[in-house]
Amino acid sequence: MSLLTKPPLGGSGPAPFALLVAMTACGTLGMHVIIPALPSMAGALDMSISAAQLTITLYLIGLAAGQLLYGPISDWIGRRPVVLVGLALFTAASVVTVFAPTPAILIGARIVQSIGGCAGLVLGRAAVRDGATADKAAARLALLTLVMSVVPAIAPAIGGFITAWYGWHASFVLLSAIGALTFIACLLRLPETRAPSSVSRSLVSGYVRLLRSRRFMGYAIGGACTTTAFYGFMSASPFIFERHLGQSPERVGLYYLLLMVGVATGSLGANRIAGRLSVTSALRIANIIGMVGAALFAVADLTGQLSVFTVVASVVVFMIGAGMASPFALAGCVSVNPQAIGAASGLYGFFQMGYGMLCTIVAETWSPGAVYPIATLLLVSTLLGQIAITIGAVAGRGRERAGE
């Protein structure tokens, strides 16, 4: 029996919540903690703004692609071995980024780092859904999102300070240490949460059924548009804050802390209303909140009232909507086909990261460093999200069976 399949010291049963948070955090931490370091990294390695932002875009591509594999594979062989392999990749690639001498090596290591980190991102959420009803899953996922919102909130702040004190390498040193510690913790304490009866032997059939489901597609596309459009803002925001508004890296990190308070607020609201409203109704409300924030951001830019306050305040409102939408969109997706929970989590994650990647491409190619493309992006995304949610709701009221 290998270390990957050997039962943990903690025995069987539900995975410890703190461990789920840690393994889920690695994937998102790898994106957020380096954001304040982008300008310094670009200067040190002689990279353009677009090339520095590429380390975010390609990271999102890796997160998206990896989730397509991890979900169905975990439905087949189990959550535990897949998580351990992913965390090992994440840790090894993080070490390479610390010593990367050129932009090419750094970018290549970032791709591997993202592919490894997304294992915990996918399977942490799948483990929450294993053995739980849709309503209970929504409440637990909201709690996970609430706790997880602390990670992207604190990460840029920490990244800003350690970049100012120790240089841009420090963020990657931190990722290496966290990856190694999480791997050891999962090796010792992570049980297998997948029920044997839920095993799917096909890596393709689960995806085919999900992609044929208008209900799944409505939740997936609507959730992706609402919850990951802000990646475009995050990619451009260091240059907006530092170059347009004259802010230091330390202050930029603190602004991200305020933005993620919005996510935490939305997640707390989702936890309170889970079970009281239908998933579709809650998702619509969350999307409307995000739309209001995006509209405020656009108006501030159009009227020449752009300031730290107007940027942070409007995007905080957007993030409240995103934080509220995330658990309901995911709960809806993973409830469509109970026999393919891992596949549903992975496919939804693919849509999320894929859309987030498209948003960062827009930020990089449409007037890099400018504000109006980002404001337009957030507003259009919420409008598209509302359309997708409506289409999924109409399908859900019909006789469509799960996975068809």
Secondary structure letter of residue 48 according to DSSP: -
Q: What is the pLDDT of residue 53?
A: 76
Kindly indicate the confidence band of residue 196, based on its pLDDT and cuts at 50, 70 and 90.
low
Q: What is the pLDDT of residue 291?
A: 94
Taking CA 54 as the corner, what is the angle to CA 256 and CA 388, rounded to the nearest 5 degrees? Answer: 70
Percentage, residues of the chain above pLDDT 70? 84
Residue 274's DSSP bridge partners are 277
Higher pLDDT, 35 or 220: 220
Is residue 6 domain-resident? no
Is residue 3 domain-resident? no
List C-alpha distances in Å: 84 to 70, 74, 88, 96, 187.
Answer: 11, 11, 6, 19, 7
Buried b (16+ CB within 10 A) or exposed e, 225-257: bbbbbbbbbbbbbbbbbbeeeebebebbbbbbb
Closest by CA to 82, choosing from 232, 176, 192, is 192
As given in the structure block, the two tokens for residue 243 are 């170059």
Q: Over the chain, what is the mean pLDDT?
A: 80
Distance CA 135, CA 192 (A): 22
Q: What is the pLDDT of residue 290?
A: 93
Percentage, residues of the chain above pLDDT 90? 19
Kindly indicate the confidence band of residue 13, based on its pLDDT and cuts at 50, 70 and 90.
low
301 has a pLDDT exceeding 60: yes
Is the whole model's pTM more than 0.85, yes or no?
no
Is residue 184 domain-resident? yes
**Helix (H, G, I), strand (E, B), or coil: what is residue 275?**
coil
Number of domains in the chain: 1
245 has a pLDDT exceeding 50: yes
Q: Are 121 and 27 in contact (CB under 8 A)?
A: yes
CATH of residue 239's domain is 1.20.1250.20
Q: What is the pLDDT of residue 7?
A: 52
Is residue 209 domain-resident? yes
Residue the block writes with tokens 């969109």: 329
Secondary structure letter of residue 139 according to DSSP: H
As given in the structure block, the two tokens for residue 190 are 């992570």
Q: Which of 33-42, 85-94, 265-274, 331-340 has the lowest mean pLDDT?
A: 331-340
As given in the structure block, the two tokens for residue 213 are 């489901």
Closest by CA to 61, choosing from 124, 104, 117, is 117
Closest by CA to 223, choosing from 9, 395, 363, 389, is 389
Q: What is the pLDDT of residue 236?
A: 81
125 has a pLDDT exceeding 90: no
The burial class, CB within 10 Å (0-12 / 13-18 / 19+), for 281 is middle
Q: Are 328 and 221 in contact (CB under 8 A)?
A: no
Is residue 183 domain-resident? yes
Q: Which domain holds residue 104?
A: 17-397
Q: What is the pLDDT of residue 397?
A: 62
Q: Which of 3-7, 350-354, 366-370 has the lowest mean pLDDT?
A: 3-7
180 has a pLDDT exceeding 90: yes
Read off the pLDDT of each residue in 109-132 and give the average, rounded to a whole number. 81
38 has a pLDDT exceeding 50: yes
Half-sphere exposure of 362 (CA within 13 A, CB side): 22
Give tens-digit pLDDT for 209-224.
Answer: 888 888 889 999 998 9
Kindly indicate the confidence band of residue 99, based on its pLDDT and cuts at 50, 70 and 90.
confident
Kindly indicate the confidence band of residue 26, based on its pLDDT and cuts at 50, 70 and 90.
confident
**Cβ atoms < 10 Å from Cβ of 309:** 10
Is residue 361 domain-resident? yes
